[in-house]
Amino acid sequence: MEKKLAIVTGANSGMGLATVIALAKKGLHVIMLCRNEEKGKRALELAKEESQSSSIELMIGDLASMESIHHFAETFKANHDSLDVLINNAGVVTLKRQETKDGFESMLGVNHLGHFLLTNLLIDELKRSDVGRIVIVSSGAHKWGKFNFDDPYFRKGFNVVKGYGRSKLANVWFMKGLAKRLEGTSVSVNALHPGAVATNIGVDRDTGFGKRFIKLLVPFFRTPERGARTAVFLATSEHVKTVSGSYFYDEKDAPLSKLAQNDELVERFWHWSEQQVGLD
């Protein structure tokens, strides 16, 4: 039998790397989707060493660029007919307002819109799997998230806490909208809160600013391995094989905010997202 095939975004460090190692140990063939080739190569060697598996490969793609996402999807499709697991793990936190290459506010652009486009481009390959699974790493921060359709990219009054919460609410709305569209197919989608994990999420992607601050917080946070457990559970466990449209914490169903469960807003946000990435 062929190995099951998984893609993990943001796989070069932290929870993404821990997820890759855990999946490889379970016998899956894992594609590490990384933005930086040099960091990706180092992470690939570490993942192979830690997992004792050679079934791991590196592919380059930048979730802050729609052009790069399209290129990644085309390259993947040229080499693979189906996909069993997609783990949307990559995430950024920017202390100051930044924009992606396409003009999206960075946290909403990378944490949601990049993954929204990637997932939709790979949906046919996921449907060709006997049991396709999509896992979206959200956060308890969705509970303070609010969305302003008149200023979605925070051009006025940017605030890092509100911006991050907005991007994590977007993750849950995406999960809810996708679950509805996948009803009756072989593909499930669920979201999760990994807990407070010590990763590089708050470190500037280009300058490295914030690394010292993250090191100070490490003793108070979960390890990346602990944070990855629920993602790995949703990707592999028989217990959730038929579960879709749910939100998990510590491998258990967890409550969502009332706003996150608003079906009217879920639909409005889905159509807005399609327009932003050119899928409408």
Three-state SS string across 39-83, please?
HHHHHHHHHHHHHCCCCEEEEECCCCCHHHHHHHHHHHHHHCCCC
Sign of the dihedral through C-alpha 190, 196, 197, 202: positive
Torsion angle of C-alpha atoms 201, 217, 210, 163, degrees rounded to 10: 50
CA 30 to mean position of chain CA atoms:
15
Return the pLDDT at 227. Answer: 82
Residues 223/198, Cβ–Cβ less than 8 Å: yes
Return the pLDDT at 221. Answer: 58
Angstrom distance (rounded) from CA 140 to CA 128: 32
Give residue-wise pLDDT tens across range 156-167.
Answer: 999 999 999 999
- pLDDT band for position 30 (cuts 50, 70, 90): very high
DSSP assigned state of 265: H
Give me 54's structure tokens: 């050679």
Catalytic status, residue 249: no
User: Is residue 280 over pLDDT 70?
Assistant: yes
Mean pLDDT for the stretch of residues 132-160: 96
Q: How far apart are the first and last CA of the chain?
A: 38
Mean pLDDT for the stretch of residues 80-84: 97
Catalytic site residue from 153, 164, 247, 249: 164
Angstrom distance (rounded) from CA 25 to CA 198: 22
- pLDDT band for position 215 (cuts 50, 70, 90): low
